[in-house]
Chains A and B, each alone.
Chain A
Amino acid sequence: MKSRSAIFPLNELTMRDRQYAGYLFILPNFLGFLVFTLGPVIAAFAIAFCRWRITSRPEFIGLGNFVELMQDGRFWRYTYNTLFLMLGIPLSILGSLFLAVILHQQIPGAAVFRTVYYLPTITAGVAIYILWKWLLDPDAGPINQLLGAIGIEGPRWLLDPFWAKPALILVNFWTVVGGANMVLYLAALSNVNPELYEVADLDGAGAWRKFWNITWPMVSPTTFFITVMSIIGGLQGSFDAVFVMTAGGPGGSTSVLSYYIWEKGFQTYQMGYAAAIALFIFLIVLVLTLMNWRFGGRVVHY
């Protein structure tokens, strides 16, 4: 019986065969990509220009959704909420940098600390948000009990329109500060030439000067990258946390844009409108990404 290679000599593939091989290799992934990723992206543009409640036929209305969006009070309110929650970003970035700087010294047990600090990120999700919902419970939760023990009457946290957003920022901070950003900073810190610090020591520089003039500039690429990624993520995110902890309340004070998309698209099934909101977010992400590309070189300085 002839071996297969005699009939189809694999080691003598022509150029054409190699090309076919390429297409074959990507075929499963590419088909899925077309149907479930690229197709939907293109479709989203079309849907946003329609009025479509999923049961009926779509109706082209041009920029109608966007016009309505601009006049939608709740939309602007929720945009404000989203931006407010993003105030936590500089806090968590600085926190990660702070932790990274401290951890970077040769401290005994650094590996243990790194592991522990990463736990919140690893477990983040519905379960952890349920946990925090209890922690922040004004009556049964430990946080108010702790405050009570030192004589402060704790606020109603997630039930209070004023405190709900800060509470969400706190939860997000806890989840994120010891996670990927800190790891990235640790890596960046290892790349800083120690001689720079030695020279600074010889010049008699104090800790703050060393940080501000050496550390901060040397990790600025990482800072920039993390900031842009966090902003892009922050514009789209927080759905899980909001859904579990506050359901957008109280009084709409924690509804973020991603939550609004869910309300419009999957509660009232106004698909066209929801797609318009999503595209609006995409537009901002696009602008930010372009700015990143253009100006990234200037902000990063050594």
Chain B
Amino acid sequence: MPTTRKRIFIRALSLVVLTIVGIWMLLPFAWMIATSLSHESKAMGSGRSMLSSLWPQPLDWTNYAGAWHELNMGLLYLNTITVAAATTIGQVFTSSLAGYAFARLKFPGRDKIFVAYLATMMVPSAVIIIPLYILMSKLGWLDTYQGLIVPSIFTAYGTFMLRQFFMGIPSELEDAAKIDGCGLLRVYWHVVLPLSKPALVTLTIFTFMATWRDFFWPLIVMNSPRKFTLSLGLAKFLYEHGPKWTFLMAGTVMATIPMIVVFLFAQRYFVQGIRLGAVKE
């Protein structure tokens, strides 16, 4: 049995290690914020001390205004929020209906169809994206919002995750409701959905954030700058205007803060989501 002194030593050492690691994780963010508040000339200078680069004097807020204008942040925000919200609503709505059906309802071919869903989950997204792009082209959906949103609604993950969840709910409540004379839609809406809040919220958050951060699909679908999402706008700016770091850091801060806020408010759903298998790394 390790002695109490040894225990305290290990705990203290662990705390030190964890703190160092924590600082290492946070340092890039600190620099991001510091640079966004620095004046351009100071940010690029060499020969100034490390610590002073973390605490710019004086604080220069003009980068945010500059980024807002040059990067068109307002438009980027609007587009990203719209696309993310639409995709999330579509995904959660259709996936919950389908997930419930696969979990509870019996119909011929149900399990075969579900296997098809599972099979496509294994397919790398690159395989799907090429024909999908061609389809968008044929539909005339390139460079449109619907081209960005609609295909993203129909990934199999949501259905899979919710089906697993629905199967885990005890069916007594639903049976009771049916005996009381509720039709299926009623049972689904009034009984099952309220019970499923955790899973639904988790799916909502994950879908929203995945769409917010998505880069590849917007990159190939969107061409008009006024329709760009945040990822696309930032990347294009970097490529076309070169590394104007102070502006870019301000833009980065603005693009990142919403993610952090959502995360801080909804932390437990992330842990849940990982357990439910909603995370697609």
Binding site for B on A (CB under 8 A): 5, 10-11, 13, 18-23, 25-26, 28-30, 32-33, 35-41, 43-44, 47, 54, 99, 102-103, 105, 107-108, 113, 115-120, 122-128, 130-135, 137, 139-140, 142, 145-146, 148-149, 174, 178, 180, 183-184, 187, 201-202, 229-230, 233, 235-236, 239-240, 243-244, 247, 258, 261-262, 265-266, 271, 274-275, 277-279, 281-282, 285-286, 289
Contact = CB atoms under 8 A, between A and B. Distances in A.
Given A125-B213, A236-B125, A289-B122, A134 B183 contact: no
Interface stretch (B28-36, B167-175, B196-204): B28-36
B28 A131 contact: yes
Contacts of A125: 213, 215, 231
Interface string B75-97: 00000000000000000011101
A258 B128 CA distance: 13
Contacts of B1: 201-202
Contact of B126 (A127, A184, A261): A261
A142 B100 CA distance: 52
Contact of B131 (A44, A123, A137, A281): A44
Contacts of B108: 19
B264 A115 contact: yes
A145 B181 contact: no
A139 B130 CA distance: 39
Contacts, number: 278
Given A102-B18, A271-B130, A282 B123 contact: yes
A122 B263 contact: yes
Contacts of A103: 18
A18 B22 contact: no
Nearest to B231: A126
A102 to B, nearest CB: 5
Interface of B: 1-2, 10-11, 14-15, 17-18, 21-22, 24-26, 28-29, 31-32, 35, 43-44, 46, 49-50, 53, 93-95, 97-98, 100-102, 105-108, 110, 113, 116-117, 120, 122-135, 137, 150-151, 153-156, 159, 178, 181-184, 186, 188, 209, 213, 215-216, 219-220, 230-232, 234-235, 238-239, 243, 245, 248-249, 251-252, 255-256, 259-260, 263-264, 267, 270-271, 274-275, 279, 281
Nearest to A12: B181
Contacts of B184: 10, 13, 18, 21, 25
A128 to B, nearest CB: 7
